Structure 1
Amino acid sequence: MAYGPPPSPGHGQQPERQQQAPWQQPGNMWQQPQQPQQQPPPPQQQQPQQPGGGQAPWQQQPQQPQGGGTVQIPGHFGPVSDDERTWSLMAYVGQFLVSAIAPAVVYVGKARSPFARKHAVQGLNMSLAAIAVWFVFGLLSLAVELFIWVPLAFTAVVMFFLVYAGQAANRGEFRRVPAAVAWPLLKK
């Protein structure tokens, strides 16, 4: 395998505009790339006002997303950062590894974020419900072996809803899990 510069274009072909990779640019190879300067928005024309002082819904300007990595959620959460979405996702995904510890850590670690707290409470309710079902029906299965299928089926349902709620958390949304799966033991 030969190393060297990339081959030049064939006969009669003109390259439109070649851009060099950052490591091929002259100067310091550790230099930070320069950020393009943002142009100020063009001045907007004055729109006629609707009688009553407000604008009609079709005349209102669309809301722009705030900052990089934030998503505007309809409701009362406000903008949700990537960090909050990650912590909320871990309240569900972490249960596959460490059960109730994962949502408890999120509940304590992100107590100031209403979005992450709501997901942590729902994940903790799901985990506590699964622990209770396993404890009760595990004891009952000592008397009647058929009862061992109840916690196994409940665990399958919980796993489905962990993925369901985790996908919503990753998108910056909240989806309520049915009360039969996430017993409302803790309040949001």
Structure 2
Amino acid sequence: MAYGPPPSPGQGQQPGHGWQQPQQPPWQQPGNAWQQPQQPQQAQPQPGAAWQQPQPGGGTAQMPGHYGPVSDDDKTWSLMAYVGQFLVGAIAPAIVYFGKAGSPFVRRHAAQGLNMGIAAIAVWFVFGLLSLAVDVLIWVPLLFTAAVMFFLVYAGRAANRGEFRRVPAAVAWPILK
């Protein structure tokens, strides 16, 4: 049995004279449904869910927290809500949150970044005061800051790709929505 395309009829061979059509593998032949690959099951929405099923005409699904196509400007603003915290702390996501509130994508990233900044300020204030009494407690805000920096990079990379990654509530206290 030869594999590959048959020679074209212009090369001295006529269809039906000297060559055969390659046969399909048994699992692709009609009537052998027992070996055909299964189609993946699509998730069924719950009543009142905030997303839509894909449309037969090639439309895209709206998953929870996904806001459709995201412009490059929105990606940049969302990224600045995280990266700006390395320079000016909670001021950067506050500027993004109040300055670009029209885009739900940017607003969600800015709210998460601002929640992380507020949490970091609160942890530093409380445990900074407590460390005056017990010296070992100074490690709590230092470790919290390391976790915040890790999740700033984690969420910032997702924002730059046009996605949203939720940061754990222990790091980004759910204050703003």
User: TM-score normalized by structure 2?
Assistant: 0.65
Letter in 1 for 2:144: F
Query: What is the one-letter code of the residue matched to 2:93?
Result: P
1:112-138 CA distances to partner (integer Å, 9 max, x unpaired)? Answer: 000000000000000000000000000
Counterpart-to-counterpart distance in 2, 1:148 and 1:101? 24
One of 112, 129, 141 as aligned partner of 1:122: 112
Q: Distance in 2 between matches of 1:78 and 1:110?
A: 17
Question: 2:41 maps to which residue?
Answer: none
CA contact (8 A) 1:73 1:80 kept: no
* Mapped partners of 2:75, 2:91: distance in 1: 18
CA distance in 2, matches of 1:85, 1:160: 19
1:167 to 157, 165, 174: 157
Gapped regions of structure 2 (runs ≥ 5): 1-52
Q: CA RMSD in A?
A: 2.2
SS of the counterpart of 1:91?
A: helix
- Return the alpha-carbon distance in structure 2 between the equivalents of residues 73 and 168 of structure 1: 17
**Offset, 1:94:** 0.4
- Structure 1 letter corresponding to 2:69: P
Per the TM alignment, residue 185 of structure 1 is displaced from its structure 2 partner at its CA by: 1.2
Question: Conserved in 2, the CA contact under 8 Å of 1:73 and 1:173?
Answer: no
Describe the superposition over 1:33-60 as per-residue Cα deviations: whole angstroms up to 9, x where unpaired. xxxxxxxxxxxxxxxxxxxxxxxx9x94
In 2: Cα distance, 1:110 partner to 1:63 partner: 28
Distance 1:100 1:73 in 2: 31
1:84 maps to 74
The answer to whether the aligner puts 1:133 opposite 2:123 as a matched pair is yes
In the TM superposition, structure 1's runs of 4+ consecutive aligned residues that sit over 6 Å from their partners are: none
- For 2:114 and 2:62, the matched residues in 1 are separated by 23
Find the residue that maps to 1:77 and give its secondary structure: coil
Matches within 5 A, 1:13-162: 60-63=56-59, 74-75=63-64, 76-162=66-152
Q: Following the alignment from structure 1 to structure 2, what is the Cα–Cα distance between the partners of residues 118 and 60?
A: 30
> Distance in 2 between the 1:182 and 1:74 partners?
22
| Structure 1 CA distance for aligned equivalents of residues 165 and 92 of structure 2 | 19
Q: Following the alignment from structure 1 to structure 2, what is the Cα–Cα distance between the partners of residues 149 and 140?
A: 11
Identity among equivalent positions (%) equals: 76
Equivalent position SS for 1:104: helix
